[in-house]
Amino acid sequence: MPIYRFQIDVDAPPQIVAERLRSIVRQDRREPFGMDWWSWRSRDPASPPFMGTVRDDSFRLRRDIRGRNSFLPQVRGHFASIPTGTRVCVTMFVHPLVVLFMAFWLGLVGYGGRADPSANSLVLWCMFIFGIVLTTASFFPEALQAKRIISAAVLGPRPVLGL
């Protein structure tokens, strides 16, 4: 299962860091029975890039994207006080149901590839490799994008050094 973890040390108290993160998060707009999954509405560019909740000590987020990506990272994290400010610890992972489905699918394809010594096993091994490449190629670019957005938000505005 793809997992991506990182930490950011911020020279501000946890309450300020939580407020900075809240500025890029809006309330989750889930429809009853998860019907927003079928919605292809475009996201307003002025709206926050994440949906979820931010508490004073933790957060649970997911990107608000146009279209659907089953491998979109689920973002979880917490704030910890350190002597110089706040440490933001973030973990991103694929939704557990997607992991379960991929494990089942890859298990069947891998078992078929090992059990069938004929030329058909090449097709099964290609499907196995495709499943792994699809998962990683869909997850990691989104995880890196989420990291950039979260880092920019919690670090806050940087002073401009000018002449």
pLDDT tens digits along 102-158: 999 999 998 988 887 776 788 888 999 999 999 999 999 999 999 999 999 999 876
Residue 150 lies in a domain: yes
76 closest CA partner among 59, 64, 63: 59
Question: So what's the pLDDT on residue 31?
Answer: 53
Q: Is residue 11 part of a domain?
A: yes
- 23, part of any domain: yes
pLDDT in tens, 31-85: 544 445 545 555 566 789 999 999 999 999 999 887 788 999 999 999 999 999 9
Domain assignment of residue 163, yes or no: no
54: three-class secondary structure by DSSP: strand
Residue 126 within any structural domain of the chain = yes
β partners of residue 3: 93
Per the structure, how many domains does the chain have?
1
Predicted local confidence at residue 117, as pLDDT: 75
The secondary element (H helix, E strand) that includes residue 120 is helix 120-155
Q: One-letter amino acid identity for 34? A: G
| Tens-place pLDDT, residues 134-148 | 999 999 999 999 999
The 3-state DSSP class for residue 97 equals helix
E-assigned strand segments in 83-162: 85-93
Q: Which residue segment(s) compose the domain that 139 sits in? A: 3-155
Residue 162 domain flag: no
Label residue 34 left, alpha or beta by phi (over 0 means left) and psi (-120 to 50 means alpha): left
Residue 120 lies inside a defined structural domain of this protein: yes
Phi-psi map region of 53: left, alpha, beta (phi>0 left; psi -120 to 50 alpha) = beta
